[in-house]
Amino acid sequence: MPLRPKPPSPILLSTPSLTAMSTEKNLFTPIQLGRYTLPNRIVMAPLTRNRAGEGNVPLDMHATYYSQRASAGLIITEATHCHPSGIGYPNTPGVHTPEQIAAWRKVTDAVHAKGGRIFVQLWHVGRVSHPSFHKGELPIAPSAIAAQGEAMTYEGMQPFVTPRALEESEIPGIIEQFRQGARSALDAGFDGVEVHGANGYLLDQFLRDGTNQRSDRYGGSVENRARLLLEVTEAIAEIWGRDRVGVRLSPSSTFNDMRDSNPRETFGYAIQRLNELDLAYLHLLEPSESDLRHGGIPIPTREFRPLYHGNLIVNWDYDQAKGNAAIASGDADLVSYGKLFIANPDLPKRFALNAPLNEPDPATFYGGGEAGFTDYPFLEEVAA
């Protein structure tokens, strides 16, 4: 895709007319999310883009990219590692050095200047890292079980290695890494934190019995396997307050070679416990075709709705009509969009006007510069 001219700043959209048309809730019905009143229920999903600079520092173009999308009810950043041990992909940002914190402050200031709200997604990849990211040291995991597949490294794709199982005495240090990441995110000016407990990364690895075969208080029963997720969430809430913390889970996902013998029980328990914490939200991924092809057990997010009484965000393959239907039925309170937000920085405006959507370019999803990142046109440019 050729580099397009830098688009003008988006016009923030006010959409009271859509909610006035019907008493039925939809994507444009305002909502209280923790301590924030959101103008709409259209969430920008966390999207890894592999464009951080040297030292895993966000660049100036990140401030442009996120502020272009400030008309979202909420922006959730790309996955952001809380500690060097959590790095597992090239050019992904962190929030654990002074340089990273200062760069993220530019991003949050730019989003706030456009009237937006932005949460950081805190991340530790666990076993799906590679020794090349850690000076030859093995990645860490709940158990010494290698994932099938390959790791993305600076030297190209490399087979996943067998990770080192964490000693129980090391686990408080992992919780402290998340806590410190949460403190750094506060310094960086974010509005809240999403705990990344999905997609086969460290907290998900502890939760599921396909990757957690420990025999201590962090393994075995579902209560023990959920312990780290809950302790990390509570540690972050101590920094932020529970009303500025969300959690993302992926009950049906097989990404990163994940499996669980009874995901309904496992995730049902975790969701019930998270419900007790009175968080800002829970963010659930729907099952995908890829999950089904790889033996996943498809559990629609609506099955978990009775277990979670707070705000529920759903994600995966939603368009405007499906999003409105999920909210109107009560199956969800908000809907997060990924590819559509990559290609349409003014997605709420396009939804409001039923305007045509830009097509995303998969060739520019990961890595590179501003092409496919900050240069998708706004509706005004398309009309011109």
- Identify the sign of the CA torsion 84, 90, 95, 97: positive
Active site residue 201: yes
Tokens 């995730």 locate to 267
pTM of this prediction?
0.93
Q: Which domains does the chain have, with CATH numbers?
A: 16-383 (3.20.20.70)
Residue 383 has pLDDT above 70, yes or no: no
Query: For position 21, what pLDDT does the model report?
Result: 40
Q: What is the pLDDT of residues 332-381, one digit of tens each?
A: 999 999 999 999 999 999 999 999 999 999 999 999 999 999 999 999 87
**Residue 2's pLDDT band (cuts 50, 70, 90):** very low
The mean pLDDT of the chain is: 94
Q: What is the pLDDT of residues 22-79, one digit of tens each?
A: 479 999 999 999 999 999 999 999 999 999 999 999 999 999 999 999 999 999 999 9
**Residue 384's pLDDT band (cuts 50, 70, 90):** low
- Identify the sign of the CA torsion 107, 112, 116, 120: positive
CA distance 318 to 347: 13
Query: For position 329, what pLDDT does the model report?
Result: 97
- Tell me the mean pLDDT in the region 300-315: 97
Contacts of 158 (CB under 8 A, 6+ apart): 130, 132, 150, 151
| Of 210, 244, 248, residue with least CA distance to 229 | 248
In this structure, the strands spanning 150-153 and 156-159 are antiparallel
Could you give the angle at the alpha carbon of 116 between the alpha carbons of 115 and 122, nearest 5°?
A: 150
Q: 367-372 long-range CB contacts below 8 Å, 24 or more apart? A: 367/49, 367/50, 367/51, 367/90, 367/91, 368/51, 369/3, 369/51, 369/61, 370/3, 370/6, 370/61, 370/64, 371/1, 371/2, 371/3, 371/4, 372/1, 372/342
Query: For position 380, what pLDDT does the model report?
Result: 85
Q: What is the pLDDT of residues 246-259, one digit of tens each?
A: 999 999 999 999 99
| In the chain, % of residues over pLDDT 90 | 91
* Helix (H) and strand (E) counts in the chain: 13, 14
Q: Which of 201, 308, 318, 337 is catalytic?
A: 201
Which phi and psi angles does 74 have, rounded to 5°? -150, 135
> Tokens for 288?
């995908």
Which phi and psi angles does 164 have, rounded to 5°? -90, 130
Strand partners, 246: 194, 281
Query: To the nearest 5 percent, what fractions of the chain are helix, strand and coil?
Result: 35, 15, 45
- Of residues 295 and 285, the one with the higher pLDDT is 285
Query: For position 381, what pLDDT does the model report?
Result: 73
The answer to whether the CB of 161 falls within 8 A of the CB of 131 is yes
23 burial level (CB within 10 Å; 0-12, 13-18, 19+): exposed
Query: For position 8, what pLDDT does the model report?
Result: 32
Query: For position 179, what pLDDT does the model report?
Result: 98
Contacts of 313 (CB under 8 A, 6+ apart): 43, 246, 281, 282, 283, 284, 332, 333, 334, 335, 336
Q: What is the pLDDT of residues 66-124, one digit of tens each?
A: 999 999 999 999 999 999 999 999 999 999 999 999 999 999 999 999 999 999 999 99
Single-letter amino acid code for the residue at 354 = N
- Tell me the mean pLDDT in the region 147-168: 97
**Residue 17's pLDDT band (cuts 50, 70, 90):** very low
Hey, is 270 helix, strand or coil?
A: helix
Residue 13 has pLDDT above 60, yes or no: no
CA distance 64 to 183: 24
CA distance 110 to 14: 19
- Of residues 382 and 129, the one with the higher pLDDT is 129
